[in-house]
Structure 1
Amino acid sequence: MYAERASRLPGAVLWTRTIEAATAARVHPVLPDGCMDLLWNEGRLLVAGPDTRAYVPGTAPAQWAGLRFAPGTAPTYLGVPAHELRDRRVDLTDLWPAATVRRLTAGVAESPHPATALEELALRRATGTPPPDPLLRHLVAALDTGRPVAATADELGLGARQLHRRSLTAFGYGPKTLARVLRLQRALALARTGVPFAQTAARSGYADQAHLARDVREFAGMPLGELLGRGG
């Protein structure tokens, strides 16, 4: 079972996931979304880096809690460039001093609501760090409307190399990959409401349904119909 709610940290989302033995075979893959997560599982604090392909959670019964940072913001709070964590799940002790992580781990373990404890941890961290670059927020907003990368770079006053470098640090990959990830998420949101796949492709900015199908296979590793649990 999965549930989420908005966090008090701007743009972030708190979520919980329970994997039970009876439903383990139906665990859905986690798809690229431009985000990074702070995770709690089995007494451990972890960080999920930005994905470029589907991540399939383990199927053993487990309780998870997480805080999903808004795209491009996690490196500011965590103090590590996103590209160093691309397609990885790492213990927080790999990023922060072990003594600090032990103290934080004990605090989350004592909380009756681990997701809320993660939120408090992130909020405290945010008070001691500069705010995320607002330019990157504008980049995400522009690309999420389907604006071309080159036009967006011009509007932001950035050269192609500078935009790519800043994107690697913030998102873990370049702006073109970010644009594709955001387009995929737009398409999935439409398809999940029952919009036919051909219309989904057109409304999301794909050249055609075949283009959408190729992107879904590349990012998710399966056809769109299988991903959504229905036919095309």
Structure 2
Amino acid sequence: MYEERPSRLAGAVVWTNRPADTGVGRVLPDGCMDLLWNDGRLLVAGPDTRAYVTDGESSSWAGVRFFPGTGPGLLGVPAHEVRDRRVELGDLWPAVEVRRLCDRVEAAADPVTALEDVALARAAAVDAPDPVLRRVVTALDAGRPVAATADELGLGARKLHRRCLSAFGYGPKTLARILRLQRALALARGGTAFADTAVRAGYADQAHLARDVKELAGLPLGELLGRRVGGAP
């Protein structure tokens, strides 16, 4: 069973996933990075460009999903270096520190809260997120064109691309496409007709929505909505 709640870390979400069976799991791209806890290990989930599919995963997972663009500053790795990957935190941080944190989470009465505490402590030790990155997310999630977003932020197209690559793992056009997918899924899950979902989410038409969902999620929209989506790392 998948559950989530807002984190005490601004903009983040804390989640747990305890699969009831060993079937296929599917995590859709959302522009985020996660700090994960699984079987005594700390891992980092990089930003996905396509659905991340798990097969036969029966162990429990917990995670802190950071607001888009904030993960690299907290985890100390450019997003594009872990794009479409799940890596051990020990590959990114000193092994002694990671072992200490693993022992702390393992010994906690509530490992999920302990994992959140790790994220909060890290946030307190590093620089605050660049506010420009949140403005990028806000503009693109509102459907603003990439060129207009760059102009409004006082950034050239190339500089915006470089900033996005480091912060989100891909360029602004891909980020905009992924945010549009998430808008569409929220509407469709809420019962909005697919044709209306396409218009309201910013697609040219329903066929455009269908193609994009199939490419990014790996399933047709109707089939996707018939399954529980998201959560498993």
TM-score range, shorter chain: over 0.9
Q: 2:144 & 2:193 partners in 1: Cα distance? A: 24
Taking the TM superposition and a 5 Å limit, the aligned residue runs for 1:41-190 are 41-190=38-187
Which residue is equivalent to 1:13?
Answer: 13
The code of the aligned residue for 1:52 comes to: T
Displacement of 1:19: 1.1
1:229 counterpart = 2:187: no
- Alignment partner of 2:148: what SS? helix
Which residue is equivalent to 1:3?
Answer: 3
- Alignment partner of 2:60: what SS? strand
Which residue is equivalent to 2:209?
Answer: 212
1:201 counterpart = 2:190: no
So what's the TM-score if we normalise by structure 1? 0.96
In the superposition, relative to structure 1, how do residues 58 and 110 fare at CA in structure 2: closer, same or farther (>3 Å)? farther
Displacement of 1:24: 2.8
- Alignment partner of 1:19: what SS? coil
- Alignment partner of 1:143: what SS? helix
Q: 1:49 & 1:112 partners in 2: Cα distance? A: 28
Q: 1:143 & 1:115 partners in 2: Cα distance? A: 31
Displacement of 1:112: 2.2
Unpaired runs of 5+ residues, structure 2, are 228-233
Unpaired runs of 5+ residues, structure 1, are none
- Alignment partner of 1:56: what SS? strand
**1:198-224, CA deviations, whole angstroms, 9 ceiling, x for partnerless residues?**
110011000000100111111011110
- Residues 19, 59 of structure 1: 8 Å contact kept: no
Displacement of 1:118: 1.2
Which residue is equivalent to 2:33?
Answer: 36
Displacement of 1:58: 3.6
Q: 2:171 & 2:128 partners in 1: Cα distance? A: 21
Displacement of 1:6: 0.5
Which residue is equivalent to 2:230?
Answer: none
Moved beyond 3 Å, runs of 4+: none
Displacement of 1:114: 1.7
Q: 1:75 & 1:207 partners in 2: Cα distance? A: 33
Displacement of 1:59: 2.2
The code of the aligned residue for 1:16 comes to: T
Q: 1:211 & 1:129 partners in 2: Cα distance? A: 41
**1:25-78, CA deviations, whole angstroms, 9 ceiling, x for partnerless residues?**
2x5410000000000001110000000000112423211100000000000011
Q: 2:162 & 2:169 partners in 1: Cα distance? A: 10
Q: What percentage of residue pairs aligned between the two structures are identical?
A: 71
